Amino acid sequence: MLATPSPSLSPTPQTSPSSKPSHQSPSPSPPGLVIQQCKDTEAVDLFYNWAARVGWNPGDKAGIRDVLLKTDPGGYFYGQIDPSCVIHDEEPGAGGSVNSNKSGTTEQQPQEQDQEQEQAQEESKVKVVALSEDPTVISVISAIRYGDEQAWIGCYITDPKYRGRGYGIATFNRALQHVLDSPCRKSVGLNAVFSQVDNYRKTGFTKSSWVNERRRGCVRELVEVKERELAERIGGEEEEGLVMLSDPRVDWEQLPAMEEKYTGFKRAESVKDWVRFHANHPERHRVGVAFLSPDKLDPLTDKPLVLGYACIRPGLTSYRAGPLYAANSSIAKLLLIKLAVHVLDAHNRNPSVDVPLIIDIDIPDQNKGSVEMFDGIGWMSTMSTLRMWRGEVPVYDVSGCFGISTLENG
């Protein structure tokens, strides 16, 4: 059973006073560590492989290349150290330790001692030599800037052999430096497991919005047993307004505004890239669906008003759904079941995509309609994380967010 958060870990109300993130310079890196920005091909392979190695169940590599790198090409970093560096101390030193989790961020415990003490202790443990032609990568992190105002930190991993020596926190600080490059950037977010919340607060992430609950369910059980009648109607295209995102009637210009309303994110081009990544590749089991109003038009485009949309993609050990935005729980349920129907159909048509017929989705606990919907279909919670912010908490109406896009990137 997952532990519930104590009152001290509850999300910070949006009415709380907030300030812009501090733009202080990060502490120097430990001796022997060099932190680099990834090139395009490095980011695609490195971050996918590291996420898979620690069990984060990443989706298609193309998601990194076609969406995230387009949003912020300079937002991927890795730390490397010469493999010939001699580690004299086998026990973790005074530096921060890192704990891997499945939230999209590997938590780093901030330094407890002043800089001079830390530097002296690190120098006593590491013999500094020139980087060889084959340096060892020991840490990775993503820091994606969404326009001038917002950013997100995720994919934070440090190799277990190098934890407890200050390398992880140095990598984290470099990511912060990247996203705090603009005085206009009001909000920097991340998702953290509860055991590391206090440590993130020490690095400036003092506010929070909601708890993410990861819900998991079986595709066949949902489609063929629990919601069989509704699934058959959806499969027969008998539900008016329920369409694929690739349908020309769907006005993609409405989708970024929907995400901003329900989550507070201002990332219009990234949203469209995310939708495009899912909507046009059913042969890869990536699917996007939408629900259109039967009688209301968008005043700007004169196209049907979009009342909800959802996406799903195969990971390594399950399908990952997100986002799931809807005007109400009835529409959200239709979208979810349509995703499941298409996953099952894609599996039957192309079983070469060898992914278990299981869906994982991360839902905000503040949306009681979402919690009740997933409770009603028997999808249990398997883990939880806290959505934390440095600076201002974006303004949002969580009532329409039935599932976030992804823990790793917000």
CATH number of the domain at 219, please.
3.40.630.90
One domain for residues 335 and 268: yes
Are the CB atoms for 387 and 11 separated by under 8 Å?
Answer: yes
Read off the DSSP letter of residue 39. P
One domain for residues 340 and 376: yes
One domain for residues 85 and 224: no
CA angle 354, 224, 340 (to 5 degrees): 50
One domain for residues 172 and 264: no
Q: Would you say residue 117 lies in a domain? A: yes
One domain for residues 371 and 258: yes
- State residue 402's pLDDT score: 99
One domain for residues 77 and 136: yes
Residue 320 has φ and ψ, to the nearest 5°, of -115, 120
Q: Would you say residue 75 lies in a domain? A: yes
- Region at 44 (left for phi over 0; alpha for psi -120 to 50; beta for the rest): alpha
Q: Would you say residue 10 lies in a domain? A: no
- State residue 353's pLDDT score: 80
Read off the DSSP letter of residue 337. H
User: Could you tell me the two tokens for 289?
Assistant: 């669906």
One domain for residues 82 and 155: yes
Q: Coil, strand or helix: which one is 220?
A: helix
CA proximity to 401, closest of 353, 363, 358, 352: 363
Q: Would you say residue 408 lies in a domain? A: no
Indicate the residue among 143, 170, 185 that finishes a domain. Answer: 185
**How buried is residue 133: exposed, middle or buried, by Cβ count under 10 Å (0-12/13-18/19+)?**
exposed
Q: Would you say residue 106 lies in a domain? A: yes
Q: Would you say residue 196 lies in a domain? A: no
One domain for residues 282 and 327: yes
Are the CB atoms for 71 and 267 separated by under 8 Å?
Answer: yes
Instruction: Determine what percent of the chain falls in helix, strand and coil, rounding each to the nearest 5.
Output: 35, 25, 40
One domain for residues 153 and 249: no
Number of domains in the chain: 2
One domain for residues 261 and 144: no
One domain for residues 172 and 225: no
- State residue 218's pLDDT score: 98
State the greatest distance between any 2 C-alpha atoms of the chain, in Å, as a whole number. Answer: 72
One domain for residues 395 and 316: yes
Going 315 to 317 to 318 to 322, the CA torsion angle's sign is: negative
Indicate the residue among 170, 185, 200 that finishes a domain. Answer: 185
Question: What would you report as the CA-atom Rg of the chain, rounded to the nearest whole angstrom?
Answer: 22
Q: Tens place of pLDDT for every residue, the chain, 410 residues?
A: 222 232 233 344 333 333 445 444 455 677 788 999 988 778 888 888 888 888 888 887 888 888 888 899 999 999 998 655 544 443 333 333 334 444 445 444 444 334 433 443 443 333 333 333 446 889 999 999 999 999 999 999 999 888 888 999 999 999 999 999 888 899 999 999 898 899 899 999 999 999 999 999 999 999 999 999 999 999 998 899 999 999 999 999 999 999 999 999 999 999 999 999 999 788 889 999 999 999 999 998 889 999 999 999 999 999 999 999 999 999 999 999 999 999 999 998 887 788 999 999 999 999 999 999 999 999 999 999 999 999 999 999 999 999 999 998 88
Going 158 to 163 to 169 to 171, the CA torsion angle's sign is: negative
- What is the helix (H) or strand (E) element at residue 328, kind and residue range? none
Q: Would you say residue 15 lies in a domain? A: no
Integer CA distances (angstroms), 58 to 16, 153, 154, 271, 309, in order: 35, 16, 13, 19, 22
The boundaries of the domain holding residue 348 are 212-403
Indicate the residue among 166, 185, 204 that finishes a domain. Answer: 185
The residues that bridge with 20 in the sheet, in sequence order, are none
Q: Would you say residue 3 lies in a domain? A: no
CATH number of the domain enclosing 103: 3.40.630
